[in-house]
Amino acid sequence: MSVLDSIRSARDVADLPVEQIPALCGELRRFIQQVTLDNGGHLASSLGAVELVVALLRVFDPTRDRIIFDVGHQAYAYKILTGRRERFHTLRTRGGITGFPKRGESPCDAFDVGHSSTSISAALGFAKARDLLRQRHDVVAVIGDGALLNGVALEALNNIRAARTKVIVVLNDNGMSISPRVGGLAEHLARLRANPTYLKLKQFIKGQCRSISGGEALDGALSRIKTKVKSLILPPNMFEELDLHYWGPFDGHDAEEMTEILHLARRHPESILVHVITKKGKGCPEAEANPSEFHGVSPGTSLRGTAAPKPRDWSRAVADLLEKLAEEDPRVVGCIAAMKEGARLADFARKYPTRFFDVGIAEEHLVTYAGGLAAGGMRPVVFLYSTFLQRAMDQLVHDVCLPDLPVLLAVDRAGLVGEDGETHQGLLDIAWGRSIPNLSLLAPRDAVDLEFMMRGWLYRRGPALIRYPRGAVPHSIGRSPERDGGMVPWGEPEILRRGERIGIVAVGSTVRLALEAADLAEKRGEPPLSVVDARFLKPLDERIYDDLFASHEALAVLEEGYEAGGFGENLARRCQERGFFCRVIPMAVPDRFIPQATRAEQWGQCGLTPERILERIRERALAVRPSTSR
């Protein structure tokens, strides 16, 4: 029986003889690697946090203490050791173990996470609630060095003194975000990491730990540490300046040392930050050598590179166009928040190092920074995943759209994202984007329109948001040879097929689906359906839509976004207001969080299949047949 087999619950980790810990960590690593390569997920970060997780579970009781992981992408070992080993092979699949901690999945998951830098705020909240309810347990935030440099985390650090409570912050420092971390504070961390004074202090704390047996000895040790700290001439330390005691740096792969330090931190009377150094990808040579590539892997990845070559994706197409536009116009610059790899911007960054800005995980700053660049005369293209744009909505409204600045938001992973699940769905940008004055909202169906739109933005005024989904980019959809080269003008929808009484208006990624539904209707001998590619969700070409309302009894509207506040709802309202009898039927994502599954499964769950679209048209439109107003 392996050591891992003997672990049924977190309690067993605490009771494990110390000499078995290395074997446990090795087995955990192999298990995480195997499942993550098969199912996809966050490999390098989870491999780097194995000993840290084991140490946390030897010191804290996860059912009583609250351990809050930041992002949660490093918590696979935690999931496995807290009763989810048997189901771990279902990681990130439909109905399976989720890729991030989730309260509904286990009582050991203290907080739902996925977006970065929330752990210290949540920990402070938990600690305050504990104090007010007169409970006694520990609250621990485990945060990476990339996530720590985000505004939300810094706001929480700033609040620690005022909150007058106790939290333990474990800073898991691997020197990396997805790519190497960037910025002035990042360098501050590097200095702390390398500082010999702190190393001496570390030796001292370690010495004290070894000598501690009971409470009295601990008190003595702590006060000696305090005196010692004071007696040392310490270089500036941002944490100490914020009244947060700083201990470290420690070797995060020495589970025994980590256990000792966490025991001590637990008994320390005030809030404390324990700085732990780890290696991203630890134990897997390929991931250690290339932690960015193995940060997140897709299903079926092999360590020697992905088995099947992947088709060109939307991110690549947008990144290539950025390069083209940058060649043509020296004002064009690219801006991103720590997602260079996902957005395929590494080539651009190499080619235009002075015109590429990675601000770290700092979406709010990113958008306002782009506003400043635009006001100063540049043409910034801001790359954001739709889900992370949520962080920067105020900046988009206040710092870009209100001053009507020429910023292009390239919104990637817009729509259903698949295995990352609920936290990462990009379903709100249409509803929000539509409501913001001055912002043009564009959804290309293929690479041809993508280029037309990006170029169009460059030679026009004002901000625009262009949304595109995860996955392969079709070069061209529904373009007849005679029409090629003749693009439909800026702002207009494109009528791809003219049917009789019923039509489908499709947004971006759903155009192909609309064509498939129309093909299916034809195959079944039903009256031909019109298919319209909306292209521009805002502003709306009112004349063309009035014509469509007038000439159709029913129009289904497909979009990969929430139905509430979506494009379909908007068209329905408009149609009604203008007094047409056309029935507009929004077909989009229903009003709930959509859990992890493949993207195709999620489309199915939301009724976005040709069969279901025809059924819904039949149910809603053909049941009652009003006369048309022409």
Ligand X SMILES: Cc1ncc(C[n+]2csc(CCOP(=O)(O)OP(=O)(O)O)c2C)c(N)n1
73 touches ligand X (CB under 6 A): yes
Alpha-carbon distance values, 546 to 542, 574, 576, 582 (Å): 6, 9, 11, 10
Angle ∠(178,380,507) on CA atoms, nearest 5: 85
Residue 330 C-beta: closest distance to ligand X, Å: 29
User: What residues numbered 89-118 form the site for ligand X, per CB under 6 A?
Assistant: 115-116
Residue 338 C-beta: closest distance to ligand X, Å: 4
- Helix axis angle, 255-267 relative to 196-211, nearest 10°? 80
Which residue, 295 or 355, is less far from ligand X as judged by CB? Answer: 295
Which residue, 147 or 465, is less far from ligand X as judged by CB? Answer: 147
386 touches ligand X (CB under 6 A): no
The set of catalytic residues is: 280, 363, 391
DSSP reduced 3-state for 329: coil
Rounded Cα–Cα distance for residues 170 and 275 (Å):
6
- Options 39, 82, 177, 530; binder of ligand X; rule CB under 6 A: 177
- Options 43, 55, 147, 453; binder of ligand X; rule CB under 6 A: 147
User: What residues numbered 445-504 form the site for ligand X, per CB under 6 A?
Assistant: none
**Count of residues near ligand X by CB under 6 A:** 22
User: What residues numbered 498-557 form the site for ligand X, per CB under 6 A?
Assistant: none
Q: 285 preceded by cis ω (within 30°)?
A: no
Which amino acid is located at 325 in the chain? L
Asked if 469 contacts 602 with a C-beta cutoff of 8 angstroms, the reply is no
192 touches ligand X (CB under 6 A): no
By CB under 6 A, which span of 70-78, 203-211, 514-522, 593-601 interacts with ligand X? 70-78
Which residue, 186 or 534, is less far from ligand X as judged by CB? Answer: 186
Q: And the tokens for 146?
A: 């990339």
Q: And the tokens for 241?
A: 């300046």
Which residue, 172 or 440, is less far from ligand X as judged by CB? Answer: 172
The closest alpha carbon to 527, from 509, 554, 548, belongs to 554
Q: How far is CA 431 from the centre of its chain?
A: 19
Residue 582 C-beta: closest distance to ligand X, Å: 41
The closest alpha carbon to 91, from 416, 387, 420, 413, belongs to 420
Which residue, 119 or 259, is less far from ligand X as judged by CB? Answer: 119
142 touches ligand X (CB under 6 A): no
Q: Find residue 168's DSSP bridge partners.
A: 140, 272
- Options 96, 99, 144, 421; binder of ligand X; rule CB under 6 A: 144
Residue 70 C-beta: closest distance to ligand X, Å: 6
Asked if 54 contacts 252 with a C-beta cutoff of 8 angstroms, the reply is no
Residue 280 C-beta: closest distance to ligand X, Å: 5
- Options 108, 171, 201, 338; binder of ligand X; rule CB under 6 A: 338
With left for phi above 0 and alpha for psi between -120 and 50, is residue 360 left, alpha or beta?
left
145 touches ligand X (CB under 6 A): yes
DSSP code for 301: -
The closest alpha carbon to 261, from 269, 271, 273, belongs to 273
- Options 3, 81, 178, 321; binder of ligand X; rule CB under 6 A: 178
Residue 57 C-beta: closest distance to ligand X, Å: 18
179 touches ligand X (CB under 6 A): no
User: What residues numbered 314-333 form the site for ligand X, per CB under 6 A?
Assistant: none
Which residue, 142 or 582, is less far from ligand X as judged by CB? Answer: 142
Give the x-and-dash track for 14-33 against ligand X (CB under 6 A): --------------------
Residue 514 C-beta: closest distance to ligand X, Å: 32
287 touches ligand X (CB under 6 A): no
**Strand locations in 203-277 (E):** 245-251, 272-277
Which residue, 115 or 552, is less far from ligand X as judged by CB? Answer: 115
Rounded Cα–Cα distance for residues 432 and 440 (Å):
12
293 touches ligand X (CB under 6 A): no
Rounded Cα–Cα distance for residues 518 and 531 (Å):
7
Q: Read out DSSP for 121-170?
A: HHHHHHHHHHHHTT----EEEEEEHHHHTSHHHHHHHHHHHHHTS--EEE
Rounded Cα–Cα distance for residues 139 and 66 (Å):
5
Q: 249 preceded by cis ω (within 30°)?
A: yes
User: What residues numbered 267-286 form the site for ligand X, per CB under 6 A?
Assistant: 280
Q: Which residue number has the CB closest to ligand X?
A: 144
Residue 113 C-beta: closest distance to ligand X, Å: 9
Which residue, 295 or 434, is less far from ligand X as judged by CB? Answer: 295
440 touches ligand X (CB under 6 A): no
Q: And the tokens for 469?
A: 């989904």
Rounded Cα–Cα distance for residues 339 and 150 (Å):
14
- Options 33, 121, 174, 510; binder of ligand X; rule CB under 6 A: 174
Which residue, 327 or 394, is less far from ligand X as judged by CB? Answer: 394
Asked if 588 contacts 617 with a C-beta cutoff of 8 angstroms, the reply is no
Neighbouring C-alpha atoms within 13 Å toward the C-beta of 247: 32
Asked if 354 contacts 141 with a C-beta cutoff of 8 angstroms, the reply is no
Q: And the tokens for 150?
A: 């985000």
By CB under 6 A, which span of 71-79, 119-127, 392-400, 409-417 interacts with ligand X? 71-79
Residue 264 C-beta: closest distance to ligand X, Å: 24
Residue 387 C-beta: closest distance to ligand X, Å: 8
- Options 239, 314, 369, 388; binder of ligand X; rule CB under 6 A: 388
The residue ranges that bind ligand X (CB under 6 A) are 45, 48, 71, 73-74, 115-116, 144-147, 174, 176-178, 280, 295, 338, 361, 363, 388, 391
